[in-house]
Amino acid sequence: MTASTRNIIAWILQVLLGLAFIASGGRKLMDLPATVAMFGNLGLPGALAYVVAGGELLGGIGLLIPRFVRPAALGLAVIMLGAVVMHATKIPGGLAGGVPAIVLLVLLLVVFWLRRPTATTL
């Protein structure tokens, strides 16, 4: 894969994922009482709702800023890994309902890999 192709694919994924996470985090923050209640129903502390909502919003923004792409992708991957675990263990419907979280996790890891530092040749 050429560097140009890799860059184009990475940018497309970054923009799509960034917008998705900005929207998701924004929705969670706009309806914070329901988000806190949902986390509480899963046996998680309500404060984690603030962390996840803020992390999704900031991570989505980070995916759109070249300097922060890799840390943002890694942080969001941790959040999505948590979502996958929650779907597998506590959320009714199991992993079948967690397919979107799995897809997002995989795409974030692809972005992280595509944006890895490469050796430059002289």
How much is the pLDDT for 85?
94
Domain ranges of the chain: 3-114
How much is the pLDDT for 96?
87
**Exposure pattern of 98-115 as b/e (b: 16+ CB <10 Å)?**
beebbebbebbeebbebb
Residues 6+ apart with CB under 8 A from 57: 21, 22, 25, 26, 29
How much is the pLDDT for 105?
98
Per-residue pLDDT of the chain (122 residues; tens, 9 = 90+): 888 999 999 999 999 999 999 999 999 999 999 999 999 999 999 999 999 999 999 999 999 999 999 999 999 999 999 999 999 999 888 888 889 999 999 999 999 999 998 876 55
